[in-house]
Amino acid sequence: MRRPSVPRRALAAFAALAAFAGVASCGSAGAGGAPPTTLTFWGWAPGYQEATALFNSAHPRLHVEFRTISPGSQGGYAALQTAVKDGTAPCLVQMGYESLPSFVAEGTLLPISQGVVGERVQYSESAWQQTSVAGEVYGFPVDLGPMALFYRRDVYARYGLKPEATWQDFAADAARLRQAAPERHLTVFTPDDPWWFTALTAQAGGSWFDVKGHTWKVNTTGPNVTKVTAYWQSLLDKDLVKTEKAYSDELFADLQNGTIAALPAPAWFSGLLTRKAAGAAGRWAVAPMPRWSAGDATGGFDGGSATALVKGCRNSEAALEFANWFGRDRKSLEILVDKAGIYPAAITADTLPALNRPDPYFGDQVIFDVFRTARSSTDWAWGPVMNETSAALSAELTKAVANRTPLRSALQTVRDRTVEAMRSKGIEIAAG
């Protein structure tokens, strides 16, 4: 993925942060009998607590205190912003790639390019692109979010369905299943999950943001975006998909009992499904995402995160040591794959036993073989106010579904609110 540049105002903030990082940096541990350096790390993903404990057991001169917070868009990021303002922020934070540019523009994260020079070859270059803004790096990558199709092998077999090659095939199977079993839907539309919708848009070649020089253009109703909204609008209008809140108890109940038979989702969703629909063990499988045209290799991506340093961190060398260990130590990654179902960004991860063993939950399928081939990149770029954009997207799609108004109109409102947020921050916007 390419990364957009940023406006002058943000660039000035980046320069100031770079200077701050140099002042704040200090040795990572005391000498002799000095107490260990203590760092605080905030995050929400399963396995983070256990991986942090493993680090502490192997690094007596450093101690990282992990605090579990709500997922970023569900309150964790708001808590971080408040903590930065009142001086109680952690040194390290789990930061979703989609939100990283917004926090950079706000001056919340420390630039770390000089601290990662010797480690770049250890991680996927596409992951570095996700953690970079205007050529400056703001976090050590942890995972990527390649998408695939999770499907109920028992439901598919019973009704003569098969993992779909194209989205057109997927729609045809949705109609076929509704006719044969009116109590079931092939899949679900989750309007409150903005990242799921952007993943589908990115796979279709859509792009919402473009920048030339210091001037941004925002277009949420371009041809490839409209293709996605029209597709899901048709499924909704024909009652071929069910509408539910993302990651809700109701959704996982439907996934467990087979009322919902398939779901496009990222690699890390496997961990959630295993835990929250445990009663469906052996009935699920994973296949490549449906494509917009036969033979198209473009895959979607949803999520992925970095370990970022927060403004005010006064032990940056120690923090960098931990962040690098966390993202590429094999034992750490084994924990994160097992507990959270992540697909690691470290280039050596493909040989991890956790990524190459049959999974009983998925009928002994080696599911990460599918995600390994799904790691294709797109030209999607995140904008500079994604916190505001994502909030608007969630609200407007939810409203459109509830009121049966066009998804396309909801996306136009998202553009208007995004532009308003960008202008309030002094970001230049192109006309049109």
Rounded to 5°, the CA angle 407-409-413 comes to: 115
Beta strand 428-429 with 215-218 is parallel
Which pLDDT does position 16 carry in this prediction?
38
Nearest to 424 by CA among 385, 382, 390: 385
The answer to whether 227 and 204 are in contact (CB under 8 A) is: yes
Which pLDDT does position 358 carry in this prediction?
96
Helices (H) and strands (E) in the chain, counts: 18, 17
Tens-place pLDDT, residues 17-59: 333 333 333 334 444 567 889 999 999 999 999 999 999 999 9
Position 4 pLDDT exceeds 50: no
Tens-place pLDDT, residues 315-342: 999 999 999 999 999 999 999 998 888 8
Report pTM: 0.82
Dihedral, CA of residue 196, residue 421, residue 311 and residue 309, to nearest 10: 20
Residue 295: count other Cβ atoms within 10 Å of its Cβ. 7
What would you report as the CA-atom Rg of the chain, rounded to the nearest whole angstrom?
A: 22
